[in-house]
Structure 1
Amino acid sequence: MSSGDSQEQNAQKQAPLIEHLVELRSRLMRAVMVVLVIFLALYSFANDIYTFVAQPLMALLPEGSQMIATEVASPFLAPFKLTLVVAVFIAVPFILHQAWAFVAPGLYDNEKALAIPILASSVGLFYAGAAFAYYAVFPLLFAFFTQTGPQDITIMTDINQYLNFVLKLFFAFGVAFEIPIATFLLVLSGAASVESLAKKRPYIILGCFVVGMLLTPPDVVSQSLLAVPMYLLYEVGLLFGRLVRRKRREDAEKSSDIEG
């Protein structure tokens, strides 16, 4: 083979790679633009958004207490940061759609049929986890914190520290609610069977309560509010794993009957 032919083959190999990189950059720019547009639309409501997120704590503060800003720029930066996070939060479906459009051409038809429900379920479960944290966990958590301190201590929480705290919890609960997807993918990929995962129930229950203990106040009710949903979501993942396995078995039997 001549050096000219070799260079031509290398150029042909590099061309698709460059096209993929250009497409990836294009889709990333679209995602950034959508986040930016949502952010600009929400920015005039930045203080209202922060007040809404802070409401679970503010509603429980003793009379005469309030939230404070200990840094000069905190009154501006805290709502700004929260609004940007909310913009990304709202744009997640579009961002995942761009990721899907980028990888979809390389997937088989059966993989595409599974990927769309998995992506939609992942987004819905993450939103559900964040909502659960805000409406169920925050009131209990902040009630515990505001009632256990010494009586002579006036509670005045810094707005920036509060924001960092709740964002971590939003992310933690959002990820925790992805348990059904993780369980389903383990079964689907063959990394674990439904039977082997079912046998690990005692360890899963223990792990759920350990996570609940770490993320919630040290009382049984608060721990159970996280641990019980986590375990139920684990069972949901096993249920869908059984359904998919049964569907595959039925399809295999039908194909064998047709071949016979």
Structure 2
Amino acid sequence: MTSAAKGGLGAMMEAGEAARYTKYWESYAPKKVKPGTLRLDWLRQSGRTGRMESSRVIYDNYGRQIYRVDFSEHMRPLNHSIPHLHQYQYGPMSSFGKESVFNFFWKMKRIKNVENITSIYSTWKPSDIAFVKSLEWSIQNVVMVFYCQLRESVDGWPNTSEDFFEVSIIFENISSFKLDFSSAGLQLISGFDILDISDNGLEKINFQIEDYENDSINFCCEEVEINEVSNPVKISIG
């Protein structure tokens, strides 16, 4: 059962009814409405983070969604600003718009030296991390070396016939550290993310590091620093 159904009214419902209740609260604003509706203010609960997220949605004269302004970064501060804009453009006889996302970053990102990556790979995001190559543990810090591949640049990510680039990241003042690797060698990470949780007000805890697909990595830390970026290489899996 997802977060919307775990508490409140959802907890008092039958499974089927709770699922419908959850689906309603987790859904985005409708892509198409009755013509004449030009604006909706929408509230949803994220199934991934459990947080409430608000949006303002604009429709054209045909009732098609053309803009959605999200007032949340979905706990992915490298990918989204607050607010950020989704735009949908429609061709002739088209009911499904082509989506573009626009961010409005006006402050420095919290990850130290992230420009070491973005100056070379401008669209890089944490979910482009594909494999863990190595891990070095000290008293308070962890240094992890990853193989990255831009998801948007290849078919069938991660594509081992294409190049990967190596990134070394320092995680400072770690806590609640969890690793769950099933075998030796390179570790595939299907859903790596770095979440900004500094608003939680916890001392020396600003980031949560996670594998949101398989939960093979999960820990918190005070600082994240991009240490080194290496040239693209071919890697061998086996």
> Greater relative contact order: 1 or 2 (C-alpha under 8 angstroms, separation 6 or more)?
1
Give the greater-gyration-radius structure (CA): 1
**TM-score, normalisation: structure 2:** 0.25
